[in-house]
């Protein structure tokens, strides 16, 4: 009975993580072309605003369920443990990079407004157009992690 409850809980956490990741993927795809889409149909402006409102919930659910899944998966990895951990660290680095882009673009911090030596580097590395490609890489790394865990 306890084993069934654990399996159901694991399934629900995975399901929530997949739904949040899929929503994030779709939203980042739409936000990549939002200016063009708004010109075509004004309804996309409403979709964009709704996605921005939901971003915190999506990110929170990705972080919470992701941590639980990482801890669970670390207990199940096989002989490829070093490679698994390296891929996992790359995935976490990309996720943190996306969160940094979102934070800095939302609050327009001094780093993006004040011209310094690093201004061009910050502008290049923290473009919101990088979110979608990094999301695709994170999805691919997730699949690689699933393969390595088996």
For 50-109, write each residue's pLDDT tens digit: 777 788 888 889 999 999 988 888 877 766 688 888 999 999 999 999 988 888 777 765
Report how many domains make up the chain. Answer: 2
pLDDT, one tens digit per residue, over 120-146 is 777 777 787 888 889 899 989 988 988
Domain hosting 119: range is: 78-150
Same domain (yes/no): 145, 84? yes
Query: Do residue 10 and residue 72 come from a single domain?
Result: yes
34 and 46 assigned to the same domain: yes
The reply to whether 51 and 117 lie within a common domain is no
Among 45, 76, 107, the domain boundary falls at: 76
- Go through 110-145 and write b for each residue having 16 or more CB atoms within 10 A of its CB, e for each that does not: eeeeeeeeeeeeeeeebeeebbbebbeebeebbebb
Which residue, 10, 148, 12, 2, is CA-closest to 83? 148
Contact 99, 56 (CB under 8 A): no
């Amino acid at each position: 009975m306890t084993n069934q409850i654990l399996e159901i809980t694991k399934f629900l956490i995975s399901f929530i993580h997949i739904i949040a990741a899929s929503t994030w993927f779709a939203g980042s795809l739409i936000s990549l072309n939002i200016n063009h889409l708004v010109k075509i149909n004004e309804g996309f402006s409403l979709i964009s605003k709704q996605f921005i409102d939901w971003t915190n919930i999506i990110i929170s659910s990705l972080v919470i369920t992701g941590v639980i899944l990482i801890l669970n998966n670390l207990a199940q990895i096989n002989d490829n443990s070093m490679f698994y951990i390296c891929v996992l660290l790359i995935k976490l680095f990309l996720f943190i990079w996306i969160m940094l882009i979102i934070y800095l673009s939302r609050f327009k911090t001094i780093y993006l407004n004040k011209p310094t030596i690093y201004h061009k580097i910050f502008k290049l590395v923290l473009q919101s157009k990088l979110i979608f490609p990094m999301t695709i890489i994170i999805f691919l790394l997730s699949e690689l992690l699933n393969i390595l865990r088996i």
